[in-house]
Chains A and B, each alone.
Chain A
Amino acid sequence: MEGDGDSVIANTTKDPPLPLPATKDAATTHEAGGGDPAAAAAGAMVMQSAPRPQSTVAGLAKEAAQLFHARSYQGCLLILHQLQLHNDEDPKVRHNIAVAEYYRDGCTNPQKLLEVLSQVKARNEELARAAEEQLEGNSSASTSGSTNGSGGNGGLSSATRTNSADVVAYMEDYDTSIPNLNYAMMMYNLQRYADAMAVLEPLYRNIEPIDETAALRVCLLMLDITLASGQPGKAAEVLQYVEKAFGYLLPPAETPTTAPSLPSSTPSETESLMTTTEQALARTSSDEGLEDYPVTLGSLEIDSSQNLGSKTPVTLVVAAREKPIPPVDVKLLLHLYRGRLFLSARNLKVSKREIKSALNLSRENTTALLLKAQLEYSRGNYRKAIKQLTMCIGRADPGMRAMVLNNLGCIHHRMRKAQTSALYFTKALQASSERSGSLSVPAFSQDKSLAIIYNAGLQQLSFGKSVLASRCFQEAAALYYNRPLLWLRLAECCIVALEMGLLENTSTTSREVKVTVVGEGAWRRVVLPVGSLNPTVVNGLKLDESEGDVQIPDKSENWFMSGKPRELSLSFAIQCLQIAICLFDRGDAKAAEAAAEAAVAAAEVKDGDDSQSSKGGGGTPTGEGRDSKGLLAAASAIEEQKKQETAALRMWALAAISHCQIGVGHPLRALRSAEELLRQPSCARPYLLLGHVYAAEALCQLGRPQEALDHLSTCLNETTAEPTNAGTEDESQLKWKSGDNSEASGDGEDSAAYTVGALGDAVSVARLTGTSARASLYTNLAAVYAMQGNLQEAQRLAQLALTMTPTNPTAMLAAVFVELKLERMETALALLKQYRHLCVVSSSKGLSQHD
């Protein structure tokens, strides 16, 4: 699920994403200055140069913050510039100026802001270092309330009580967490999640000293990113931390365990909780007026996270409020996050409860409504889901509208309304590209067109429009380039195009046989093309030279042109598949690492929990324990699901590589992939069949029919062994997709829909384990026997195949071929006549290789 964690920030993000922190920064400073003892300390820096202005400065800062929140950026800037006059070294002021300017300019110049942010960061670090040094000098005799606070250095804990206020204030002055957070948010908004995470991680790891609101934002941003990038484990961890550290733990009463029995009690409990949290947060929320726009960010879930077949789930939007986030909103957010997490773990019951709680808090919350739609979608209640979405769309802004349309597209896809679904996707893309005026960063951040276009591509592919689909996927690669699924889909496009005869140079398209005459006199020969698989299927790669110059096809020069879509070819398919496999491998390696780390981390967390819970005392330890278990279980369920998907996808990829390598006439590699496929642990039945057949084909091409025969016979034995199980086994193979939620029972009829797409291949093979697969095995065996000269056997098998599937042209051709080999022209002719209505459209791979 993609996060709209943005949202969180988002709220910030959306309209004034950055500002909040920024403002906050400004605000805090002031606030502190105004009412707090700490203010003195805060003011310290300012005061350094001009002791007198302290109060003025504080006043100005406060005013600036107010103006900022009122969106009067110009006025705010005026005051900030005034402040700058007091101390133009103050990084905070610079920072706030940059943020205000960024907003004033309509959020269109992120580069400038980023520069200032890094400068401020650098400057702060410098100052902090300088101050530390200074402090070290004075450390023994610190003077409280003086211009320079003194105290322990970084390790706050060491500071004495008296010092601590100063020290904290001090550190706050030089604190880089706010600029860092802003930086991360900017990165997030620019959709550079990895960069954002790189900044956030350290912040999160050392979150204690950070101002509470900022810390919350750090966490929420983390949540958004982790959820968006499919790291449920980490997300669960962060979520748990937030619940504990910020005192929102309690809602769990409503959550998983006890649930069904006490629906009535829930409301009251919630209420009470709310009050408590509010109190706790009272200080923060007392701040000035919140921004009144709940901002919604949409996020989309892309189907990529689920595997192939399933179409995308829906989205979410989260609305958050302004900077000092009112506790109710935080609660809301947490419910939403939990809902999302459980939803992607397909724990629909719990997720339903979470969403309900969220809706209880805010009836109108769009994110919650969207999540609810997604829930209904997951349960197979498409009509309800549609209803929910159409309710949302009325009040949606364009970005939001795009997401709702996308979700509608997903639902219709599941309902097998292919064209309607495609149209929704198209409209979603149009909506997301409609824009008045120049593009602003928030708009960019909110833009989900890459996710939508992936979905659209999938939809096109399911109609067989492989060329358009591949363009969509290539476009989506900008965001999903590290997802193996994307590459598998691209390869699938190539294969589908080949099957439909869209690739050049395959004989599938033309019925004519091209004959070349070579040589002279006694040496004159007529050259017939060998089979349908020309090694140069690669578009345009056919070298038409006879002079000796090797011509590099023009295409290759263009390949590199950025932005130019790659054309489909078998070579391209192979590349994509290799990339996918490479990503699987890397993913496995990472997962192994991560698992090791997680083990360590888990141990730590546990310690932390223990200490905290013992300290906190008041909490409900059991509820808490259960709750966290629920989250973690959800996370691990997702991981488990992913693992299975990966295994299945890897098999698909290997089979596809083998297929394509045979297509380009590279049997050595085809054989290698097929053998690797057969080595996969618990290789599913359909893949087993494919593996053996491809291996046999490759071996035939390599002139080793005996080995091919072994493969085919093994395969035949395996399929005959337990023919009745075939169906059920395959079903269960595929079942992992549909989840095992009791509540998802409505899904039953849809489970087939899950497998549209790449897996569809496997499924069709699986279905074939009945007669068609058997018949094609017989056909292949017949071909191999014919190659070996065992014509009797060949004839027997060809006949078997033909009787099994009288409408299969390949089987018929095999029979004819064997008859011809036996020199029984009459019989062959009679066969041809008898089956003349079978026009042979598809190329018969098995045969063409041998005759």
Chain B
Amino acid sequence: MLPCGSPLPAQIGLQVSNLSKDNYISVAEELYELSSDGPDGSIILLRNCLEQVNLAENDQNLQVKFDLLTLVIRNLIHQPNLGTILCEALRFLPSVSEEFLANLCRALKLSLPEQIALGLALADAEDYSQRQQGLAFFETKVKELCEDPVPDLSEDLVERILWGLYSSEALLKLRSSFLRSLPALQPFAVDSLTMIPFFKDVNKEVNTLREFDYVTISESLLSDTILMDMEHATDVVSLLEELGFDCTHSVEHCKEILSQGGPLLEGDVARILGTVARTAKGLEEVQNIHGPFYNTLCNGEAITSKLSSWRVDILLGAINQLNPSLNWSLIVSSLDYEGFFLPDENAFTLFMTMYKLGCEDPFPIDAICSHVWKNDEGQLSFLRHAISAAPEVFSFAHSTRKLMETEEGNLKSPNHAWFSLDLLEILCRLAEVGHIDQVREILEFPRNHCPELLALGLVQVNIIVSLKGTQGSFQEEMLSLVLRPQFSQVQFTTEEEAIAPLWSKLWSLNAEMLKMEMVNLLSSNDRSAYGQVLQVCRGLKVLHTVLNSMPSKVALKFAVFASRKGSLNLEKWLEEEISIHRDSFASVFLSLTEERHFTLDEMDVSMDHSEDQQFDISAAILKVLYAASGLLSSGILVNNIARARGSEAANSLDSNVTPIEPSLQEFKEIDVDKAANLYFERVYRGEVPVQTVVNMLQQFNQSPANSYEWKQILPTGHNCD
């Protein structure tokens, strides 16, 4: 149903009423589009057309409108839901009678079959009298049809008519006469499947429709292809599972069973391996159906021994004999089928045994790790066991993308799992599609045993997270978890001293991630974080780079901390930042100084600081800010800076601190011209909208402190208009 206020009715109505000869084709096309999705459009369209045709007696475009109506109706007649559309379209018309239909049909020159279809459609109406009218019209027209058969009636219509005739006992007579004339109307109708019940008596006994003579000629009791299709539809994999372990009694026997379906392809083999591995620990219920099967359908002697597990050597022997040219890497990729799941380690080991029996090449890790499977559960079950497998069972050593091997690493990850970037990447992806908990659990081990490897891997994983929201990606989350302990091992010293080689590796591999992690760490409430991060930065000699890429707020705090520790010249840094980032930076800084307790506490307890120090910092910041006011575009901001500085100055008066601020006079002389020019330049370049400047100027106007200076530049503002 259409939501209220949908533009659809309006649009259709407009188009229909504006229809003319000239725009006929384009309008018709458009209307077709509008009405082709769902019944609503069609109903509205039909209703509009009918109204237009009804209303406009003197409309010069009447003929075109008739054409459109005809087109619409002809189009609808073949839709299965004609009834609803017609009845709904007519619902609001005052009098729908048999006559109305007859007139309509005459005006539109509809053919007899089309008229019948219309009558039938009206018989679907909920309104009783409409329904009767429709039926009556239908009856008249069918009579006409019987008297004067139109050849080649569409079979769809034939069926509709028959159902119409069966809907009421009153039409019984007409029904039989219609059935009689049917061969003339549609000679093939008699053979149609859905017509059978109309032509046959419903005795309890039936005459089969399969003629002996016909069967003798065609020499087949069933249609030609169906048997073959059924044979091909045989799924040997389920068969194998249903019949159980005894299928692997001997190679010959196994072959016999596996060749019941079509040729054995990679997909089948994949499912066979998966099934065998899954059921390795036993089949749910062995109902002993294998024996009878063997006796009846295979030509062999009865099997006496009963196997209690799969004999994979026989199975693989049979598979390889049946199709010696299997592509095993394709098989492994085909494991992504619904139902693949390795429940335990044994299953995995069995699977790998089978793989090795089938193929001597190293396992195609790509097929497992290159993308998230549709059956992600299955993929995860495979990976989980692969990771913990002994190196002789499974090794990731030949991953395409992997970390540099180290001795220590080799010890900690014997099957090279944690060297494999492919593996890590697919794990991250799997976590993103909803398996976070499981992946976390899997990563628990490397996190505790070889965190460096994991960290190095994580920073190299390259995935794009689609729905990136407030919570970070799994990769970041994991990296934090891994790096926190690493950071905490870093001892802050005043000296610049060597740090673990891990950091420089991480930095060189993915500086962005490391920086992000630093920011995360700094934003946490860990008091020691600042010292650790600073130490790492100093060790890497990347303090400035790090600061520059941090969000302003964090960066400022960190910079303050760094300057306290003597690693940074705060004022210089501030100036640089302001000159680059201007307003955005300034407002952050300002807000920070305004939070009186933009505290140093959070940085490091051990660091002794006092109110004074805090003042110093705020003052220093404000000083730089104030000095850079000219670079800022927002008048409010500049004002606020000035005000903040004012109060700071007042405070400092109390505490006998000399104002750092340059005098008004100074400011005026030095900066006003420069600043004004700067503004206009930016307006000119389109960086700042004119209106902003105007607003700003107005504010300056109201501000007594600066009124003088700013008024001065007004005259030059002629191009503001």
Which residues of A come within 8 Å of B, CB atoms? 108, 110-111, 190-197, 225-226, 228-231, 382-383, 386-387, 389-390, 393, 404-405, 408, 412, 415, 417-420, 422-427, 429-430, 432-433, 438-439, 441, 444, 447, 449-450, 453, 456, 460, 465, 468, 471-472, 474-475, 477-482, 516, 518-519, 523, 525, 527-531, 533-536, 538, 541, 543, 545-548, 550, 552-553, 556, 559-563, 565-566, 570-572, 574-576, 578-579, 582-583, 586-587, 590, 661, 664-669, 671-672, 700-703, 705, 787, 829, 832-833, 836-837, 849-851
Contacts and interface: CB of A to CB of B under 8 A. Distances in A.
B204 interface: yes
Contacts of A570: 80
Contacts of A479: 206, 208-210
Nearest to A548: B71
A561 B205 contact: no
A559 B191 CA distance: 9
Contacts of B210: 191, 450, 478-479
B32 interface: yes
Contacts of B74: 548, 550
21 contacts: A226-B204, A229-B205, A390-B292, A405-B296, A426-B227, A444-B215, A460-B233, A471-B223, A479-B208, A482-B203, A527-B37, A529-B38, A531-B38, A535-B38, A550-B77, A556-B155, A666-B83, A666-B124, A668-B126, A829-B469, A837-B434
A190 B467 contact: no
A795 to B, nearest CB: 17
Nearest to A837: B434
A570 B234 CA distance: 27
A668 B201 CA distance: 31
B375 interface: no
B227 A429 contact: yes
Given A420-B242, A545-B75, A556-B155, A477 B193 contact: yes
Interface of B: 1-3, 7, 11, 14, 25, 28-30, 32-34, 37-41, 67, 71, 74-75, 77-81, 83-84, 87-88, 124-126, 154-156, 159, 163, 166, 186, 188-189, 191-194, 196-197, 200-210, 212-213, 215-216, 219-223, 226-227, 229-231, 233-236, 238-239, 241-243, 260, 287-289, 292-293, 295-297, 433-434, 467, 469
Nearest to A700: B1
Count chain A CB atoms within 10 A of each CB in B77, B193, B235 and give the residue with the most: B193
A850 B200 CA distance: 44
Nearest to B466: A836
A535 B81 CA distance: 7
B209 A412 contact: no
A559 B243 contact: no
Given A433-B227, A535-B80, A541-B80, 8 more contacts: A191-B210, A229-B205, A444-B212, A533-B38, A546-B25, A550-B74, A575-B159, A836-B434
A430 B292 CA distance: 18
A429 B222 CA distance: 9
A418 B40 CA distance: 44
B216 A439 contact: yes
Contacts of A538: 80
Nearest to B187: A560
B63 to A, nearest CB: 14
Contact of A546 (B28, B77, B229, B292): B28
Contact of B80 (A192, A405, A666): A666
Say what secondary structure dominates the interface of chain B.
helix
A764 B255 CA distance: 39
B197 A432 contact: no
Contacts of B201: 194
Contacts of A386: 289, 292
Top 4 A-B pairs, shortest CB-CB distance: A837-B434, A560-B188, A530-B38, A562-B191
Given A518-B34, A535-B81, A453 B222 contact: yes
Given A111-B213, A548-B28, A667-B84, A450 B234 contact: no
Given A111-B213, A471-B226, A559-B155, A420 B289 contact: yes
A314 B280 CA distance: 35
Contacts of B67: 548
B208 A192 contact: yes
A427 B287 CA distance: 21
Contacts of A836: 434, 467
A578 B163 contact: yes
A661 B83 CA distance: 11
Contacts of A579: 194, 197
A546 B40 CA distance: 19
A91 B431 CA distance: 90
A475 B223 contact: yes
B3 A850 contact: yes
A518 B33 contact: yes
A423 B78 contact: no
Contacts of B28: 546, 548
Given A471-B226, A550-B74, A527 B33 contact: yes
Contacts of B30: 518-519
B109 to A, nearest CB: 13
A193 B433 CA distance: 61
Contacts of A441: 212
A418 B155 CA distance: 38
Contacts of B215: 439, 444
A430 B227 CA distance: 7
A396 to B, nearest CB: 10
A412 B292 CA distance: 11
Contact of B208 (A419, A478, A701): A478
Given A474-B193, A579-B194, A447 B80 contact: no
A382 B285 CA distance: 14
Contact of A110 (B125, B200, B212, B296): B212
Contacts of A563: 191, 223
Contact of A433 (B71, B191, B221, B235): B221
